[in-house]
């Protein structure tokens, strides 16, 4: 099953058609996409028993994040060995670094992003998981049952402020406006042959800069959810960025960052792609 946020309304997707959930359910489910995760099991069984709903062709430009206002956003750093190396850090062995992207930076799959003045804005394509059932001290073996679905994420990162100061600080440097694209829709885990082995890629102006597979994650989705939920209860609708494969701009020689006019495409095979263009501060 695929769901999306179309003009701030929850829709079920059927190919290139969208079914408005609030209308099709006669108001049983709220139009607000963020609220569906609170009743995820009930929603899934309703959606499964209503297969012949009429859909309408939709304009992809109207898509927003399928989880637009998560209570919590978690992000995992250094979760692919080759990326840890290119970033100049040790590979984490017992626990990965965890930070947040403040929820106000979450945005949809397409559009313009303003480059912070004087900054070095970098790309990080990532698999994103959205929580469907509250998870508290969940073992890895049961973790997938707490996931509503998967989306493509882009963990945009401003490296100058990330690496300034006495210690790297990740959260603020990764939370400029629209630095958290998620989408283009949410795909439930049962849609994949193996949700632990998905192919990611990222390109700048058509040149592939990142490619990887989530089977190479040091801590896969189940291990991440076990690690996080041992400390913090994960709430329905929370968003988890799982880490980026190698090929970020900071790791190339010489370092390369996004410039005004660049187009960034971030994709996960079996889900879809995000497409963003960058504009200089003052132009956006
Ligand atoms: Zn990241």
Give the mean model confidence (pLDDT) for residues 6-11: 98
Distance (Å) from CA 104 to ligand 1 centroid: 17
Distance (Å) from CA 283 to ligand 1 centroid: 26
- What is the pLDDT of the chain when averaged over all its residues? 96
Distance (Å) from CA 100 to ligand 1 centroid: 10
Q: Using alpha carbons, select from 185, 198, 200, 194 the residue that is nearest to residue 14.
A: 185
Beta strands 63-64 and 2-6, pairing class: antiparallel
Distance (Å) from CA 172 to ligand 1 centroid: 13
Q: Indicate yes or no: pTM above 0.85.
A: yes
How far apart are alpha carbons 186 and 182 in whole angstroms? 9
Top-tier CATH class for 65-279: alpha beta
Identify residues whose C-beta is under 5 A from ligand 1, the ion: 124, 155, 244
Distance (Å) from CA 31 to ligand 1 centroid: 30
Distance (Å) from CA 43 to ligand 1 centroid: 31
| Residues whose CB is less than 8 angstroms from the CB of residue 193 and which lie 6 or more positions away in sequence, other chains included | none
Distance (Å) from CA 136 to ligand 1 centroid: 24
pLDDT, tens digit, 9 for 90 and up, residues 195-232: 999 999 999 999 999 999 999 999 999 999 999 999 99
Distance (Å) from CA 251 to ligand 1 centroid: 13
Distance (Å) from CA 21 to ligand 1 centroid: 32
Distance (Å) from CA 276 to ligand 1 centroid: 17
Distance (Å) from CA 108 to ligand 1 centroid: 17
Distance (Å) from CA 208 to ligand 1 centroid: 18
pLDDT, tens digit, 9 for 90 and up, residues 138-186: 999 999 999 999 999 999 999 999 989 888 889 999 999 999 999 999 9
pLDDT > 70 fraction of the chain, expressed in percent and rounded: 99
Residue 129, φ and ψ in degrees, nearest 5: -110, 140
Distance (Å) from CA 275 to ligand 1 centroid: 17
Distance (Å) from CA 133 to ligand 1 centroid: 24
Residue 205, φ and ψ in degrees, nearest 5: 50, 40
CA distances from 113 to 21, 89, 152, 200, 226 (A): 30, 28, 17, 21, 33
pLDDT > 90 fraction of the chain, expressed in percent and rounded: 89
Given a cut of 60, is residue 121 above it in pLDDT?
yes
Distance (Å) from CA 77 to ligand 1 centroid: 6
Given a cut of 80, is residue 51 above it in pLDDT?
no
The neighbour count for residue 226, using CB atoms within 10 Å, is 18
Give the torsion sign (CA, 181, 186, 189, 191).
negative
Give the mean model confidence (pLDDT) for residues 108-126: 97
| Residues whose CB is less than 8 angstroms from the CB of residue 115 and which lie 6 or more positions away in sequence, other chains included | 121, 258, 259, 260, 278, 279, 280, 281
Distance (Å) from CA 151 to ligand 1 centroid: 14
Domain boundaries, the chain: 2-59, 65-279
């Amino acid at each position: 099953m695929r769901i999306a946020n179309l003009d701030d309304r929850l829709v079920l997707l059927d190919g290139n058609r969208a079914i408005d959930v609030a209308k099709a359910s006669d108001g049983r489910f709220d139009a607000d996409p963020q609220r569906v995760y609170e009743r995820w099991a009930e929603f899934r069984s309703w959606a499964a028993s209503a297969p012949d709903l009429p859909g309408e062709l939709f304009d992809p430009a109207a898509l927003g994040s399928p989880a637009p206002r998560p209570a919590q956003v978690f992000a995992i750093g250094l979760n692919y060995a080759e990326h840890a190396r290119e970033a100049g850090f040790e590979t984490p062995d017992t626990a990965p670094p965890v930070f947040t992207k403040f929820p106000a930076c979450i945005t949809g799959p397409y559009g313009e992003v303003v480059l912070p003045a004087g900054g070095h804005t970098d790309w990080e394509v990532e698999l994103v998981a959205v929580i469907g059932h509250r998870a508290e001290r969940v073992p890895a073996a049961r973790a997938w049952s707490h996931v509503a679905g998967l989306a493509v994420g882009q963990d945009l990162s401003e490296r100058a402020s990330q690496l300034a100061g006495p210690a790297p600080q990740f959260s603020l440097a990764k939370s400029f406006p629209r630095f958290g694209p998620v989408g283009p829709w949410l795909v439930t885990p049962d849609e994949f042959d193996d949700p632990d082995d998905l192919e990611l890629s990222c390109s700048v102006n058509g040149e592939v800069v990142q490619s990887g597979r989530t089977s190479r994650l040091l801590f896969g989705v189940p291990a991440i959810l076990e690690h996080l939920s041992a400390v913090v209860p994960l709430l329905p609708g929370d968003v988890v960025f799982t880490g980026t494969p190698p090929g970020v701009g900071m790791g190339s020689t010489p370092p390369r960052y996004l410039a005004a006019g660049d187009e960034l495409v971030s994709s996960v095979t079996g889900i879809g792609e995000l497409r963003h263009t960058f504009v200089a501060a003052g132009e956006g």
